[in-house]
Chain A
Amino acid sequence: MRPSRSDTCLFFIIGWSLLALAIGLLPIVVWARAVVWIPLVFVMPGYALIRAVLPKHSIPPLEGAVYTLAGSVSIVALTGVLLQLVLPVDRQIWAISIMAVAVIAGLAATLRRGRETATMLPLPAPILWISIQSTLTLALALGLVIGAVVLASAGARSERATFHFTELWVLPVTASLHGSLVDVGVRNHQGDAEAYVVRVNQGRILLGTSKIHLADGQLWRKQVACKGGPSTKPVTVTLLHHAKVYHYVRLERCPTPS
Chain B
Amino acid sequence: VTPGPSLGAMPGIAVVAAIGLVTVAFADNAARHDGAGAQLLFWLGLALIYGPVAFRLLGRSPRRSERIALVLTLGLALFLVKVLRSPAEFVRFDEFGWWRATHEVLVTGHAFTGNQLNVSTAGYPALATLTAAVSQLSGLSIFLSGTLVIGIARVILLLALFLLLERLTGSPRAAGVGIAIYVCNSSFLYFDAQFAYESLALGLALAVLLVSLRWSESDQRPPASLTTGVGAILLILTCGLTISHHLTSLFVVLLLALWTIASLFQSRSQHHADMVRRRNGPLVPTVLTTLLVATWLIFVAGPTTHAELGAIFTGAYQSVGDLVLGTSGSKHLFTGSGKTVSQVERAVILTAVTLVLCLVVAGLIRMWRSRPVKPLSLALGIVAILYPVSLGLRLTQASSEIATRAPAFAFLGVALLAAILTASPSRRSWGTVSRHGGKLVVTALAITTFFGGFMLGELKATRQPGPYLVGAESRSVTPPGVAAADFAAHYLPTNSNMVADRTDAALFGSYGNLNPIFGSYSRISLARILLGGEFDRADKQALCGQSIAFIVVDKRLSREAPFELPLVGFYVSSHEPGAFVRTRPVTLHALEKFNSVRGISIVYRNGPITIYDTTELC
A binding-site residues for B, Cβ under 8 Å: 24, 30, 33-34, 37-38, 40-42, 49-50, 53-55, 58-59, 62-63, 65-67, 69-71, 73-78, 80-81, 84, 87-91, 93-95, 98, 118, 120, 126-131, 133-135, 137-138, 140-145, 147-149, 151-160, 162-163, 165-171, 183, 185, 187, 189, 234, 247-253
Contact = CB atoms under 8 A, between A and B. Distances in A.
10 contacts: A49-B232, A53-B232, A71-B236, A94-B137, A137-B11, A140-B18, A155-B25, A162-B33, A169-B487, A249-B603
A135 B243 CA distance: 40
B138 interface: yes
Given A55-B226, A91-B137, A77 B604 contact: no
Contact of B5 (A37, A76, A90, A129): A129
A138 B9 CA distance: 11
Contacts of A145: 18, 21, 80
Contacts of A58: 226, 229
B275 to A, nearest CB: 22
A207 to B, nearest CB: 16
A67 B237 contact: yes
A114 to B, nearest CB: 14
B109 A127 contact: no
B603 A148 contact: no
Question: What is the predominant secondary structure among interface residues of chain A facing chain B?
Answer: helix
Given A30-B139, A73-B200, A55 B163 contact: no
B210 A63 contact: yes
Given A30-B139, A66-B207, A94-B137, A80 B88 contact: no
Contact of B14 (A37, A141, A168, A170): A141
Contacts, number: 305
Contacts of A253: 616
Interface residues on B, range: 35 or more
A233 to B, nearest CB: 12
Nearest to A93: B109
B156 A66 contact: yes
A4 B84 CA distance: 43
A50 B24 CA distance: 39
B87 A130 contact: no
Contacts of B616: 252-253
* Top 3 A-B pairs, shortest CB-CB distance: A88-B109, A74-B240, A155-B29
Contacts of A138: 7, 11, 14
A175 to B, nearest CB: 12
Interface in B222-242: 222-223, 225-226, 228-230, 232-233, 236-237, 239-241
Contacts of A50: 229, 233
Contact of B87 (A65, A80, A152): A152
B607 A165 contact: yes
Question: Which of A153, A159, A160 gathers the greatest number of chain B CB atoms within 10 Å?
Answer: A159
Given A69-B203, A70-B237, 4 more contacts: A41-B138, A135-B11, A148-B22, A167-B484
A249 B609 CA distance: 12
B9 to A, nearest CB: 10
Interface stretch (B54-62, B126-134, B180-188): B126-134
Contacts of A54: 225-226, 229-230, 233
B597 to A, nearest CB: 10
A143 B410 CA distance: 36
Nearest to B84: A152
Nearest to B134: A41
Contacts of B25: 147-149, 151-152, 155
Given A66-B210, A137-B14, A249 B605 contact: yes
Contact of B28 (A81, A93, A152): A152
